[in-house]
Amino acid sequence: MNDFDIFLKDHADCERKASSMAMSFVAKFPDRVEIIPDLIATAVEELEHFQSVYQIMEKKGLRLTHELKQDMYVKQLIEICRSGREERFMDRLLLASLVETRGAERFRLIYEALDEGELKKFYQQLWASEAKHGETFVKMGLIYFDEQAVYDRLKQMALKEASILNNLPIQPALH
């Protein structure tokens, strides 16, 4: 909270990447027609989030920075995804769900820490939106895979996600 300007830059990057991630599913799995409308809707919502964060940045005179360092959180999460077309598809959906849900958790913490005002309302809305996205990606998995298999794998990946996050330094960033 003491480095909110730096946090905003990271937050903007995360929204932009979330939109790209949703659209990358469309590009990689065009045959999964059942989920394409929800993927497009998610990508649009994330892009709107990016637009809103950028507007806040503009008002504060903040600029987007050229990305130099790798996102260690997402990189390590991708490493735990299995290979094989079906396994990878399931894991990437669950990875997306975990990232969205973790984002929701963080936005809630920010919302709770902010004083009354527009910014507080904005982060409250984001909390709800990202929590919904977290559910959306699990529901997508349930269209194609057995319920038990989805929730077992989600549990395994959630444990790994927690340990990845625990080993990252604390910084003014979403993860």
94 token code pair: 């669950």
Q: How far apart are CA 8 and CA 14, in angstroms?
A: 10
Among 8, 9, 46, 95, binds Fe ion (CB under 5 A): 46
Q: Is 102 in the site for Fe ion (CB under 5 A)?
A: no
Beta strand segments in 13-53, E: none
Q: Is 133 in the site for Fe ion (CB under 5 A)?
A: yes
Residue 51 or 167: the one with the smaller Cβ distance to Fe ion is: 51
**Contact region for Fe ion (CB under 5 A) — 66-74, 110-118, 125-133, 162-170?**
125-133
Question: Residues 133, 119: contact at Cβ < 8 Å?
Answer: no
- In the complex, the smallest distance separating the C-beta of residue 151 from Fe ion, rounded to whole angstroms, is 21
Under DSSP, the state recorded for 159 is H
Question: Residues 35, 145: contact at Cβ < 8 Å?
Answer: no
**Contact region for Fe ion (CB under 5 A) — 42-50, 107-115, 116-124, 145-153?**
42-50
Residue 82 or 132: the one with the smaller Cβ distance to Fe ion is: 132
Residue 18 or 98: the one with the smaller Cβ distance to Fe ion is: 18
Among 92, 100, 110, 145, binds Fe ion (CB under 5 A): 100
**Contact region for Fe ion (CB under 5 A) — 10-18, 57-65, 75-83, 165-173?**
10-18
69 token code pair: 């360092």
80 Cβ contact list (under 8 Å, min separation 6): 91, 157, 160
Q: Is 13 in the site for Fe ion (CB under 5 A)?
A: no
Residue 84 or 123: the one with the smaller Cβ distance to Fe ion is: 123
Residue 2 or 105: the one with the smaller Cβ distance to Fe ion is: 105
Q: How far apart are CA 50 and CA 174, in angstroms?
A: 14
161 Cβ contact list (under 8 Å, min separation 6): 77, 98, 102
Binding site for Fe ion (CB under 5 A): 15, 18, 46, 49, 100, 130, 133
